[in-house]
Amino acid sequence: MKITIVYGTERKGATYRIAQEVIKHIDKPEVTEFFLPKDLPDYCISCFRCFSEKVGTCSHSKYTLPIREKLLDADLIILTSPVYSFHVSGQMKVFLDHFANMWIVHRPQKEMFNKQGIVIATASGPVFSKTLNEMKDSLDFWGVAKTYKLGFAIMDVNYDKVSPKIKEKIVRKSKLIAHKVNLNHGRIKPCFRVRKWFYITRFMQRHLKLNPPDVAYWDEQGWTKKIRPWRG
């Protein structure tokens, strides 16, 4: 299974270790890893090229295109971030901003609608829900068919000092999620939220026509008619 992981920090701490635990239980993993900010060091500058022009015109394409290629090629996308101020790390937010043009309401890629995703977050206490949801929002709105959440209150900034009980819980939940991913590989269909926003956006592109490049893209894909990205 092809896996692309984007880490919200270069530090190989808790979220890194949990991602590695998940990978251990995935069938025949082929893993590509990106570490932020090293692999995408520049902030989005709101040039809007990604919304008004073709793919590859982003001001930071030398960083975004290799990541984009691996995201589209993957069967499973994993995003990780420690909790920073109740939210994702700044560098993870920068990453998500750079790929907002792939949201369903703009120009989603049909490859996304048959993928699975996992989002992983850790914090000293049980305050990881917003961080998980921020990453899951982007996966859902990219069209990723099914995304699983793994959040843990590890009660320490040093993973080596995390209690055996919490580590046992991490292993147990990681195995469970990996089992679901293996079971659904190759036969996953978009969840209700993904399909809902697809049809809402379809209505927008057919009748409101707010951004002409987005409208043209949807027409070219045939999605304003009978074609659906998760079929065929």
Q: For residue 192, which of 230, 221, 220 has the smallest C-alpha distance?
A: 230
Q: What pLDDT digit, counting tens, does each position of 46-90 carry? A: 888 887 777 667 889 999 999 999 999 999 999 999 999 999 999
Torsion, Cα 197 190 21 1, to 10 degrees, reads -130
Query: What are the angstrom distances between the C-alpha of 12 and each of 7, 15, 36, 180?
Result: 9, 7, 11, 25
Residue type, 128: F
Place of tokens 């697809």: 198
Instruction: Give me the phi and psi of 186, to 5 degrees please.
Output: 85, -5
Segments making up each domain of the chain, as ranges: 2-190
Q: What pLDDT digit, counting tens, does each position of 84-124 carry? A: 999 999 999 999 999 999 999 999 999 999 999 999 999 98
HSE toward the beta carbon, residue 77, CA cutoff 13 A: 28
Q: What pLDDT digit, counting tens, does each position of 128-181 carry? A: 999 999 999 999 999 999 999 999 999 888 888 899 999 999 999 999 999 999
Q: Please state, in angstroms and rounded to a whole number, the distance separating the CA atoms of residues 30 and 20.
A: 12
For residue 55, the model assigns a pLDDT of 67
Q: What pLDDT digit, counting tens, does each position of 174-223 carry? A: 999 999 999 999 999 999 999 999 999 999 999 999 999 999 999 999 99
Q: How far is CA 183 from the centre of its chain?
A: 20
| The three-state (H, E, C) secondary structure of 89-143, written as one string | CHHHHHHHHHCHHHCCCCCCCHHHHHCEEEEEEEECCCCCHHHHHHHHHHHHHHC
Q: How far is CA 164 from the centre of its chain?
A: 29
Q: Is CATH 3.40.50.1400 what the domain over 2-190 is classified as, yes or no?
A: no
Q: Which two tokens stand for residue 25?
A: 């239980």
